[in-house]
Amino acid sequence: MKNLKKLSALLLALALLLGAASAFAEETWTLTCPNGAPALSVATLAAARPDDFTFIAADTIPAAFASAQADFIIAPVNAGAKLFKAGKSTYRLAAVVTWGNLVIASQRDNFSIEDLNGNKLTLFGADTINASVALYALKQFGIEPELADPLAGAAETKALLETDPEAIVLTAEPMFTAAKAANDKITGFPVNDLLDNGYTQAGLFVRAETLEKNPELVKAALAEIEESCGLCMSDPDKVVEALSALEIKFPKAAIPGCAISYVGAAQAKRLVEATVEIDPAQFGGEEPADEFYFENAEE
């Protein structure tokens, strides 16, 4: 009887241990991301665990921050900074994952950036960080174009690019690659070629509650996301396959132009501040406070 009690106790302890291990193994994290170029950074993870990833339209990003449902959000760095400053977000910047996908393009013969002197440039989005960055980059080369009325988005400037042989537009990947595939007269210059380090476009944000309750899970998730970002350079075929499984159409040729690269917050901070200097209003009028950054992201 005594041995039977010992065996029962041992079996109970083993069951509890296995249950705890199983629960830990099943522990996962969730992420919300725009369904455009930033989706490249987590495509392979999302294809493997589609229930944990949500892809949304860009105009619903503020609502995603406000609801605080996801452990992580990928979003424009300036949007996350503005919402954090306004007290409308508890998410902190863990890393920058995209560094600019803007392209200045035209059908003009022998098109060059200098063609913008004395000609009009059609931007997309009024008073946006993308417009500010493009104009800043041009100004570094002594070019200050006239501006046509801006269009709503990169898809609209792509349509103008395809239909007007004289137009000079700002568009973005993957629209530029798609337009060029349809019309071989189209050429373009990535805005990043005019900048020293690109600019901090999209960031990976982590929810304060998740950081507080489960720092080890955060650490593991960041490692997974960093590895996933790296595949955009090392194995783009795998990324395209993952996007296809997610029913997101994205040409492989456009991936390099999306400048996907994982840089943790501690290293990216000075580059964020450099982007803020281009147009502080896009970040709420000033550099983000130190608490905006999760600077232990690389540890």
Q: pLDDT tens digits, residue range 75-115?
A: 999 999 999 999 999 999 999 999 999 999 999 999 999 99
C-alpha 283: how far from chain center: 16
Q: Which residues are within 8 A (CB) of 17 and not within 5 positions of it... i.e. 6 or more apart?
A: none
How much is the pLDDT for 258?
96
How much is the pLDDT for 64?
97
Query: Which residue is listed with tokens 């174009």?
Result: 145
102-194: same fold as 28-99+199-292? yes
Distance CA 117, CA 89 (A): 42
The pairing of beta strand 31-34 with beta strand 102-106: unpaired
Output b/e per residue, 248-261; b: 16+ Cβ within 10 A: bebeebbbebbbbb
Which residue did the predictor score with more confidence, 215 or 3?
Answer: 215
**Which residue blocks in the chain are alpha helix, DSSP H?**
2-26, 43-48, 61-67, 77-85, 129-139, 154-163, 175-182, 208-213, 215-234, 236-245, 265-278
Local confidence band at 243 (pLDDT 50, 70, 90 cut-offs): very high
Q: If you compute the radius of gyration of the chain from its CA atoms, what whole number of angstroms results?
A: 23
Q: What is the mean pLDDT of the chain?
A: 90
Which residue did the predictor score with more confidence, 141 or 161?
Answer: 161
Would you list the domain boundaries of the chain? 28-99+199-292, 102-194
Q: From residue 211, how far is each of 33, 124, 205, 207, 220 by CA, in Å?
A: 19, 36, 11, 6, 12
Overall pTM > 0.75: yes
Checking if the pLDDT of 10 tops 90, the result is: no
CATH architecture of 102-194: 3-Layer(aba) Sandwich (3.40)
Which fold would CATH assign to domain 28-99+199-292?
A: D-Maltodextrin-Binding Protein; domain 2 (3.40.190)
How much is the pLDDT for 281?
96
Local confidence band at 1 (pLDDT 50, 70, 90 cut-offs): very low
